[in-house]
Amino acid sequence: MFMWYYIGTFLASFFLTIVYAARWNKRFDIYLTLIFTMIPLVNLGNAMMGLAKVLEEALLAQRIIYIGGCFQIFFIMLNICSLCQIEISKSVKTIALLILSVLYLFVQTIGYYPFFYSRVSFEIIDGHGVLHRTYGPVHAVFVAAVILCFAISVGAIIYSYFKKKQVSRKILILLFLPEFVSFFCYFGQKLFGLNFELMPASYVFAQIMYLMIAQRICLYDVSDTAVDSLIKGGEVGFISVDLQDRYLGSSETAKKIFPELLELTVDHPIQENEQIQKLLLSHLDSFRENEENNLFYYQRSENEPIYAVSIQPLYNENRKKGYQFLIEDDTENQKYIALINSYNSDLEAEVAKKTENLISMHNRLILSMAAMVESRDNSTGGHIKRTSEGVRILVEEMKKHIENHVSETFFQNLIKAAPMHDLGKIAVDDAVLRKPGRFTPEEFEKMKAHAAEGARIVHEILQDTDDEFFRMIAENVAHYHHERWDGSGYPEGLKGEMIPKEARIMAIADVYDALVSKRVYKDAMSFEKANQIIMEGMGTQFDPNLRQYYVSARPALEAYYSSLESK
């Protein structure tokens, strides 16, 4: 009867291993596969023990049984740790495997040397073979190794159950049941003094539990199941190449999108097909240079779908082995983006037009105010227009020199702010502003107030503007264009680079115009004399760093003022 028990458990374990092989999936852990490989072998050893007629046959069977005793419990432990997401280093695995291998070598000495079994005998009881043994010193080490593996396995299950939320509780329970049953069978047999082994039945039970675990592993591996679903659903296409640009394969969806793939030979360079080379290799080279260049779009013809093709490294066991192209139909998304872009373009154009109108109206308002101020001053007719052009000429020269480290926006804002530099004169009394001759000291003090007043007026006009940079430049131009490099200017007596750059540029254009233009109290000065005064003022009245730009701009300034005289 017991003989048929051993044969039955062997056949059951062999059948369950075939079932596992038929349902094998690449996501199954290697240790799980080793367990299913070893259990039929161990149960075969138990069947051979039951059928043994002499001691030599029993010893051979015992050596086969200990393959499971030495290695199976270790692989079960590694499988449990893997499913519990507990990492065991390769060095620890290697050392443990070496120790177990040494123990199994001692198993081979059974019947020859007293290391593992100090004494053995054999008899047939109730029709099946029974091996009697007295354990040697190495067997104690073997038992300690088995207990250690068992303790680690159970500890990992209990720890994960209470601490690891990302590990399935169902899998943990299915892992625990074989451990519990094996423990009960091993010690139950010893406790009750049974003449047959309970462990073969516990192994069959373990296989059933592990088959249930394998089924759930496929469901819990979200990343792979998602990829499989996408591939089978045809939603995503895949093309793989190795590091030498050799074609590794592609999905059916990819072949439908790129029929040229059918012409490629696996393990041959993708350069075999010119179309594929142009399409994939150029983008792959760009990705190699900068991995941010990992996306491009492909459309075979105008009415065909638009595909988004992303590139990512292809890894195998954490080692980069090549590259993979993921292809998705992005037609609807691209149409939506195109619609949004079209709408945004129209909206931006409309906003730009409205903004341009507002800016134009704003600038006309400022120029009108400046012209109104100028109309009150008998001595400065056309001064605003001329100084604005003078600033523009100076700026154009400065733009030619990259060592300025000044932005284009700064220059544009300075040109736009130039007409506002004398707005403060609106607050100067007519008796002073319209005086045809030179000012008395008291009158000059009143006239000097126009700088600070101008800054205040500009601030009031532009305080709600979104362009803070322009407002600052306009205020500085109005406030400080009468300051001098040596600190003797007004209204605050600023010195050197304490004077804002925009005001230093404005000062040159302002004084130059005053020199070469006719006033009620003086005639226009010659260009040569005006140039002499400007050059002498470099370092005292004017910023000496602006000398080279003035010198470069002088021909254009003289040409401009000469054109005014001819009108």
CATH fold of 352-565 reads Hypothetical protein af1432 (1.10.3210)
Q: How far is CA 207 from the centre of its chain?
A: 44
User: CA-CA distance, 375 to 308, in Å (whole number)?
Assistant: 65
* Beta carbons of 409 and 469 less than 8 angstroms apart: yes
Assign residue 99 a region (left: φ > 0; alpha: ψ between -120 and 50; beta: otherwise). Answer: alpha
Helix intervals (H) in 164-273: 169-192, 199-220, 222-233, 252-257
Q: What are phi and psi of 435, to 5 degrees?
A: -65, 130
Residue 241, classed as helix, strand or coil, is strand
Any idea which residue has 């925009």 for tokens? 502
Any idea which residue has 């264009």 for tokens? 481
| 3-class DSSP string for 352-421 | HHHHHHHHHHHHHHHHHHHHHHHHCCCCCCCHHHHHHHHHHHHHHHHHCCHHHCCCHHHHHHHHHHHHHC
Nearest Cα to 485, choosing from 473, 476, 494? 494
Tokens of 17: 């291993």
* Beta carbons of 114 and 132 less than 8 angstroms apart: no
User: CA-CA distance, 53 to 266, in Å (whole number)?
Assistant: 57
Q: What are phi and psi of 111, to 5 degrees?
A: 90, -10
User: CA-CA distance, 218 to 438, in Å (whole number)?
Assistant: 98
User: Which CATH homologous superfamily contains domain 225-329?
Assistant: PAS domain (3.30.450.20)
User: CA-CA distance, 103 to 110, in Å (whole number)?
Assistant: 12
Residue 121, classed as helix, strand or coil, is strand
User: CA-CA distance, 76 to 174, in Å (whole number)?
Assistant: 13
Residue 193, classed as helix, strand or coil, is coil
Q: Which residues contact 386 (CB under 8 A, 6 or more apart)?
A: 513, 517, 561, 564
User: CA-CA distance, 543 to 501, in Å (whole number)?
Assistant: 9
Q: According to the model, what pLDDT value does residue 226 have?
A: 44
Give the full edge-to-edge strand order of the sheet including 295-298. Answer: 247-250, 236-242, 319-329, 307-316, 295-298
Nearest Cα to 396, choosing from 413, 417, 411? 411
Q: How far is CA 112 from the centre of its chain?
A: 65
- DSSP annotation of 260 reads G
Any idea which residue has 């374990």 for tokens? 13
Residues pairing with 325 in the sheet: 239, 311
- DSSP annotation of 521 reads T
- DSSP annotation of 70 reads I
Half-sphere exposure of residue 99, counting CA atoms within 13 Å on the CB side? Answer: 17
* Beta carbons of 506 and 391 less than 8 angstroms apart: yes
User: CA-CA distance, 473 to 458, in Å (whole number)?
Assistant: 10
Is the C-alpha dihedral spanning 341, 407, 487, 524 positive or negative? negative
Residue 429, classed as helix, strand or coil, is coil
Q: According to the model, what pLDDT value does residue 225 have?
A: 45
Domain ranges of the chain: 2-220, 225-329, 352-565
Which amino acid would we find at residue 537? G
Residues pairing with 124 in the sheet: 129
* Beta carbons of 284 and 323 less than 8 angstroms apart: yes
Low-confidence residues in the chain, pLDDT < 50: 219-227, 229, 380
Residue 36, classed as helix, strand or coil, is helix
Residues pairing with 135 in the sheet: 117
Any idea which residue has 């509780």 for tokens? 169
Assign residue 193 a region (left: φ > 0; alpha: ψ between -120 and 50; beta: otherwise). Answer: left
Q: According to the model, what pLDDT value does residue 194 have?
A: 61
Helix 199-220 crosses helix 2-22 at what angle (to 10 degrees)? 10
Nearest Cα to 77, choosing from 165, 146, 164? 146
Domain 2-220 has CATH 3.40.50.720: no
Tokens of 27: 């996501």
Tokens of 424: 């403060």
